[in-house]
Amino acid sequence: MNAFYLNLRAQLKSRFIDYLKADSIPYFPPELTVCPHCRAHCSILLDTMWSCPECHEHGDVVDYVMANNGFDSEEKAIRHLCRMLGIKNTYLDYFSADEVMDMQFSEPVFIVDKLISKGLHILAGPSKAGKSWLALWMAHRITLGMPIWNFETHPGEVLYLCLEDPLDRVQRRLVDVTDGSTGRIWIATESEMIGNGFEEQLTGFLREHPNVNFVLIDTLQKIRDMKSEHYSYAGDYKTMTTLKSIADRFGIAIMLIHHTRKAPSSDPFDMVSGTTGLMGCADSTFVMLKENRLAASATLDATGRDIENLHFDLRFSDETMCWEMVGSNLDQQELPKHDYVLKQIRAFMNEKEEWHGTASELVTELKSRDHSLDLTPNVLVRIMNAHTVVLRNFYKVAYRRGQDNRKNNVKIISLRLLKEIIVEPSDSTDKTDMSDICGHIVPIAPIEPPQDA
| pLDDT for the residue 288 | 95
| pLDDT for the residue 332 | 59
Side by side, the strands of the sheet bearing 58-60 are 27-28, 32-34, 41-45, 49-51, 58-60
Side by side, the strands of the sheet bearing 354-357 are 354-357, 410-417, 397-404
| pLDDT for the residue 435 | 37
How far is residue 390 from each of residues 75, 432, 433, measured CA to CA in Å?
A: 30, 20, 17
| pLDDT for the residue 228 | 54
| pLDDT for the residue 201 | 92
Q: CA torsion sign, 107 to 111 to 114 to 116?
A: negative
User: Integer distance in angstroms from the first to the last C-alpha of the chain?
Assistant: 53
Closest CA to 257 of 267, 272, 268: 272
Q: pTM for the full model?
A: 0.72
| pLDDT for the residue 447 | 41
How far apart CA 217 and CA 244 sit, in angstroms, is: 13
| pLDDT for the residue 434 | 37
Per-residue confidence in pLDDT tens, the chain, 453 aa:
889 999 999 999 999 999 988 887 888 887 788 888 887 889 998 889 999 998 999 999 999 999 888 888 899 999 999 988 989 888 888 889 888 888 877 778 899 998 999 999 999 999 888 898 899 999 999 999 999 998 999 999 999 999 998 999 899 888 888 877 888 999 999 999 998 889 989 988 998 999 999 999 999 999 987 665 556 888 888 899 999 989 988 999 999 999 998 888 889 999 999 888 899 999 999 999 998 877 889 999 999 988 888 999 999 988 888 899 998 887 655 555 567 888 899 999 988 889 999 999 999 999 998 888 888 998 898 888 888 877 887 788 999 888 765 556 678 999 999 875 433 444 443 433 333 333 444 444 444 444 443
Q: Buried (b) or exposed (e) across 309-325, using 16+ Cβ within 10 A? A: ebebebebeeeeebbee
